[in-house]
Amino acid sequence: MPDRIYSVGSTSTSCTFGNLIEFVHQDILSKFPAKFFKDEVVSTTMAFRQIKKYKDNSMVEFVKKEKPRLLIRPNYEVGDDSIPFRDTPLTMNVYSNPGGMSRHSILPFIQDSHRGYSVGYRLNRDRLSFDITIQVETLTKQLDTYKALENTIGFSRPYQLETSLETVIPFQMVDYISKIINKPLDIGKPITIPPILQYLQTHSNYPVTYKIRNSTSKPEFFIYYGVPIRVIYDDLTIDDGSRKGMTDDAYTITFKVTTEFNHPGAFILIGSEISALNDMEFDLTIQDEDDSTFIPIYTIDRILEDKDNYFEGFKIYTSTIVKTEKENEGKDDFCDLEEMIEVDYIRILRRYNASRIPSDILFRFQVFKNKTQLTEDLDYTIDFNQMKLAIHNSDPNATYRIIVFQNKIRCNEELENEMVLATKDKNYKDLYTPYDDNHGLTGYDHFFKDKNGLQVMTRPTNKDPKNK
């Protein structure tokens, strides 16, 4: 039986564009001294230049803030045929037919010949521009800032930057895949998420990341990819300033940043005879966004390929994105480890914890706030009793990224131990004794070292477990 297109799922454009705005935000900040801006405002409403005039209260709120301040407002240019590669075989649906999408425009993503299906994606090329406003408090500072920008930025001269982006895989597509591999996804049960995530990471041509759900969103799976971004700064101008009473109030500098980039626009599930989906008709799935806003997501460039971030003996197990809740700003916000780690390993972690054996023999964690790596016990803590990671002093405007490293060899050994114990009249904890009674955990201090040659089998804080 010839292959059939089972499903076409459109990605969340708002997430992709939210990813781009953080790229532009960081590129602008890189051109100023650290902490130059007292306030930064990123508009979360998209302005469609050919549909409506930009309207929101960003400027009203903006003028109330301490200076210097930065305002970034995105604009999407609809149907612009001047975008390079827009109407070429690379990005258009060539040889299309009424029943679906042409195979000639599909690029590979997942291939599982054993189960008789594959997933590809259609490439989109889009242009996203940004209106940038900088306000300073004096005429002198306005002129100095203007001349600094004029001299250090090649205005009207396009250049290319290599970076990494993340695009949402349609949730319905992930749900179909979970049925094909007989690991049904249930968002109400966190333990069903790690198996499908590990499967996607194993069979994908690209790294797959995951955004942990909170009360205001659903879980999202992302394709993580490197991409060149064409960038051009232009339209640098200044105004005459404004006064409040007899004193200077605000002097404004404006310019425009335009980006052009490739990204997956739709995902296509193709198969021969997939029994799990036999009762499914061809469908076109889209993200069910409930408003006109987007959520900026900061993607750390090439972090998943950076070998310097690996612990010796450990490999990256998963990468999870976290956006904390607005109502918890400045407070603790919590993430469920059961959404990151498979249930078999969670069970072993619980047993290690009960026996007071340090869990970092099995798993290590790195947590980032945007591009800044956080410190355990200061910025975040992990409770293996509750299987929760607590982010302290949480910031809902930041992107937190949790990278989990696994000692695969040790984890497999523990799974084998469990299989052996299942056939014997022994309890798991008989294999281990509390730390107080077992100071010499065999292999604990000697088998693994970090990249600097230091022993890493002790906890990162180097605290004695007895003093926790």
pLDDT digits (tens, 9 = 90+) for 241-291: 766 654 557 899 999 999 999 999 889 888 876 666 665 555 555 555 444
Lowest mean per-residue pLDDT among 101-110, 114-123, 319-328, 451-460: 451-460
Q: Which segments of 170-282 are extended strands (E)? A: 208-211, 220-238, 242-244, 247-271
DSSP per-residue codes, 126-170: EEEEEEEEEEESSHHHHHHHHHHHHHHS-TT--EEEEEEEEEEEP
Task: Judge if the upstream peptide bond of residue 68 is cis by omega within 30 degrees of 0.
Answer: yes
Average pLDDT value for residue range 303-317: 70
Q: What is the DSSP letter of 359?
A: G
Which one is predicted more confidently, 453 or 223? 223
Question: What confidence category does residue 41 fall into, taking pLDDT thresholds of 50, 70 and 90?
Answer: confident
DSSP per-residue codes, 394-458: --TTSPEEEEEEE-HHHHHHHHHHHHHHTTTT--GGGG---GGG-S--TTTTTS-B-TTS-B-SS
pLDDT of residue 84: 57
Alpha-carbon distance of 411 to 388, in angstroms, equals 20
Lowest mean per-residue pLDDT among 201-215, 344-358, 380-394: 201-215
Residue 207 is encoded by which pair of tokens? 């790294």
User: What is the three-class DSSP state of 348?
Assistant: helix
Q: Which segments of 192-219 are extended strands (E)? A: 208-211
Residue 321 host element (H or E) = strand 315-322
Alpha helices in 30-181 (DSSP H): 58-62, 139-152, 171-180
Average pLDDT value for residue range 421-429: 61
Alpha-carbon distance of 339 to 190, in angstroms, equals 5
Is residue 357 over pLDDT 80? yes
- pLDDT (tens digit per residue) in 62-99: 455 678 999 998 887 665 555 555 555 455 554 444 44
Phi-psi region of 341 (alpha: psi -120 to 50; beta: other; left: phi over 0): beta
Q: Quick check: 124 and 16 in contact, CB under 8 A?
A: no
Residue 11 is encoded by which pair of tokens? 């990605």
Is residue 383 over pLDDT 50? yes
CA distances to 15, 63, 82, 135, 215 from 255, in Å: 24, 18, 21, 12, 37
Above pLDDT 70, what percent of the chain?
70
Alpha-carbon distance of 324 to 388, in angstroms, equals 14
pLDDT of residue 277: 64
Closest CA to 356 of 433, 442, 457: 433
Alpha-carbon distance of 309 to 462, in angstroms, equals 19
pLDDT of residue 457: 43
pLDDT of residue 468: 41
Whether the full predicted model's pTM is greater than 0.75, yes or no, is: no
Phi-psi region of 154 (alpha: psi -120 to 50; beta: other; left: phi over 0): beta
Q: Enumerate residues 6+ apart whose C-beta is below 8 A from 60.
A: none
Task: Phi first, then psi: give them for residue 182, nearest 5 degrees.
Answer: 60, 40
Q: Quick check: 114 and 181 in contact, CB under 8 A?
A: no
User: What is the three-class DSSP state of 251?
Assistant: strand
CA distances to 314, 397, 417, 443 from 421, in Å: 26, 48, 6, 21
Lowest mean per-residue pLDDT among 7-11, 169-173, 300-304, 336-340: 300-304
- pLDDT (tens digit per residue) in 196-232: 999 999 899 999 999 887 655 677 899 999 999 999 9
Alpha-carbon distance of 174 to 269, in angstroms, equals 10
CA distances to 246, 320, 344, 416 from 191, in Å: 64, 15, 10, 21
- pLDDT (tens digit per residue) in 433-442: 444 443 334 4
Alpha-carbon distance of 121 to 100, in angstroms, equals 13
pLDDT of residue 312: 73
- pLDDT (tens digit per residue) in 89-144: 455 554 444 444 556 678 899 989 888 889 999 888 888 999 999 999 888 999 99
Q: Quick check: 418 and 426 in contact, CB under 8 A?
A: no
Closest CA to 227 of 164, 159, 167: 164
The residues spanned by each domain of the chain are 4-285, 303-467
Alpha-carbon distance of 300 to 403, in angstroms, equals 11
Task: Phi first, then psi: give them for residue 147, nearest 5 degrees.
Answer: -70, -35
Half-sphere exposure of 155 (CA within 13 A, CB side): 14
Question: What confidence category does residue 371 fall into, taking pLDDT thresholds of 50, 70 and 90?
Answer: confident
Alpha-carbon distance of 249 to 139, in angstroms, equals 10
Average pLDDT value for residue range 174-197: 88
Closest CA to 199 of 210, 214, 189: 210
Residue 6 is encoded by which pair of tokens? 């089972």
Residue 363 is encoded by which pair of tokens? 């798993």
pLDDT of residue 356: 87
Alpha-carbon distance of 179 to 171, in angstroms, equals 13
